[in-house]
Amino acid sequence: MSKFTEAENWHKPQGAGYVTTAPLEWEVGRKGSGLWVRVPVGMYFDVSVPWFARWLFKPTDPRYRKAAALHDWALADKWDRVASAALFNDALAATGVGKVDRLAMTVGVIVWKWK
């Protein structure tokens, strides 16, 4: 277990998304790497799923929320889309999302709104 997977009561609903009420911490790469990403209190995030994929990926699935917060924070912190998608993918794995679903979701966040 980790700070990330054990985090509870770290967010609340706000509008169409959520806002963090406690820091959310993710250790990048592997346990003990010392490389941390910290999503701060007050960060607004959402679980964006295109309308055509909602039959497969429900935006209300709580397994997606931590990964979505981490991904949105990385983008807000000026990470590129591929690096933030890698964090997203690893966080989805940590919350129990299967390989095929992770692949589809990770490719989706890389190409969605690609510039």
Structure tokens, 52: 């055509």
Place of tokens 């949105």: 72
pTM equals 0.91
pLDDT in tens, 6-36: 888 999 999 999 999 999 999 998 889 999 9
Collect all residues with Cβ–Cβ distance below 8 Å to 29 and sequence separation of at least 6: 35
How high is the mean pLDDT of the chain?
92
Model confidence pLDDT, tens digit, residues 35-63: 999 999 999 999 988 888 899 999 899 99
Kindly report, residue by residue over 59-99, the tens digit of the pLDDT. Answer: 899 999 999 999 999 999 999 999 999 999 999 999 999 99
